[in-house]
Chains A and B, each alone.
Chain A
Amino acid sequence: MSEPKKERINIHEYLAEFDDIPGTRVFTAQRARKGYWLNQFAMSLMKEENRIRFKADNAAYLEEWQLTDAAKKAVLARDYNAMIDEGGNVYFLSKLFSADGQSFQTAAGSMTGMSPDEYAQMMIAGGRSPEGMQSLKANLAAAGADGSKKDS
């Protein structure tokens, strides 16, 4: 090859960095594979006839999909963190909370452990500060530095 090779991204390093972000699950291929049917189930709620059947009997409707027990349980409990652990993606899951008549803000807020009011207030007050929320490693290093100061 006469042309210089382009700089390539190391895929392993690229993916590993995602695990360093606090309180965040990046929708990687691994999660996409795990959540395939959960996400496809959620997509099905874009059709009115499916919403009607789902609302009539959540559990029976879920039996029509190849979901893990954990995924079924998470959907029935409307536990969005648990759904994301099962490979769900929020844009797919939005079909579920929209069918429930819930807003993006209520659904997102439900994953933070805050009440809807507390979450809404936090947003009005300027949102969650990025301070200390960017890197688990950096937080650990900072905590270590603090700890050693206290020790000395």
Chain B
Amino acid sequence: MARVTTGITSSHIPALGAAIQTGTSGNDYWGPVFDGYKAIKEWIHQPGNMPDVIVLVYNDHATAFDMNVIPTFAIGCAEKFEPADEGWGPRPVPDVIGHPDLAWHIAQSLILDDFDMCIFNDMKVDHGCTVPLSMILGEPSEWPCKVIPFPVNVVTYPPPSGRRCYNLGDSIKAAVESFPEDLNVHVWGTGGMSHQLQGPRAGLINKEFDLDFIDRLINDPENLSHMPHIQYLREAGSEGIELVMWLIMRGALGEKVKDLYRFYHIPASNTALGAMILQPEETAGEPLDPRSVMSGHSLAQAAE
């Protein structure tokens, strides 16, 4: 039987892709970010950790979906998905190879579980999907695993509630566990953390909110999932609402999880960045050493 072994959270900001492309990932600005991800990259390449399939939860940034079609929850069921041209040419990364059997199985299961999914085949994937792959899997000529793109609308209001996302994660878990093939499946929740990209309040970062969110995501997701949209908007910035997608990942891991690794950094361009590895407690592996890394302004010292 297939099982969800791991949940990963990651930023998906386009500037990270640009740093890889321009060879600036080791400079003073980006170096600490890529250092923080190095532990995740090394962990995933260890024997037994590479998933067969990633269910990659992200938001499409007005790329595959324009104002014409706005699906709340969508799932990519095709054989493959090409990187989109978002205005500066497609990211030079391999095509994302899907897993149509599992994707269709999840789509059917979710609909039977009262989540009325939008099913997509011909769909290009933007930085929301490909930047986390680059950050965690590096720059291979082909991605080492299959990926099921799972776009969530967090752009046009209202996005789904945190509660809905958390419950969706639980239904994804059940769907994966009813797939007969023996597969190691990851669920990744991407985006976040606090950031605002528009208006006079652009540049908002809320370290206290972010660190509390990470803690509660691990230890108290049930209550966290009831946080209303307005609180995300006020506290974490207008684009901080992306964090509801992390609740989908968390819901797919069951009641208790162990955090193998937490990384938090300020700033990555306009955003605060959080990247974590979580596993269901009953099947969790050993935590990484160090288990928690914080870097960037005022954080490097705090962690020491």
Contact = CB atoms under 8 A, between A and B. Distances in A.
A104 B13 contact: yes
Interface residues of B, number: 49
Given A17-B230, A43-B66, A128 B13 contact: no
Contacts of A95: 62, 86-87
B201 A23 contact: yes
Interface of B is mostly: loop
Contact of A123 (B61, B156, B209, B270): B270
Interface stretch (A26-34, A59-67, A69-77, A144-152): A26-34
Contacts of B18: 103
Contacts of A96: 87
A130 B157 contact: no
A130 B203 CA distance: 10
Contacts, number: 166
Given A39-B67, A112-B202, A119-B203, A130 B209 contact: yes
B41 interface: no
Interface string B194-236: 1011111111111101000000000000000000011001110
Contacts of A32: 67, 156
Interface of B: 13-15, 18, 61-63, 66-68, 84-89, 155-158, 194, 196-207, 209, 229-230, 233-235, 238-239, 266-267, 269-270, 272, 296-298
A-B complex: 4 closest residue pairs judged by Cβ atoms: A127-B205, A98-B87, A23-B201, A23-B200
Interface of A: 14, 17-18, 21-29, 32, 35-36, 39-40, 42-43, 45-48, 51, 80-81, 84, 89-92, 94-99, 101, 103-105, 107-109, 111-113, 119, 122-130, 133-135
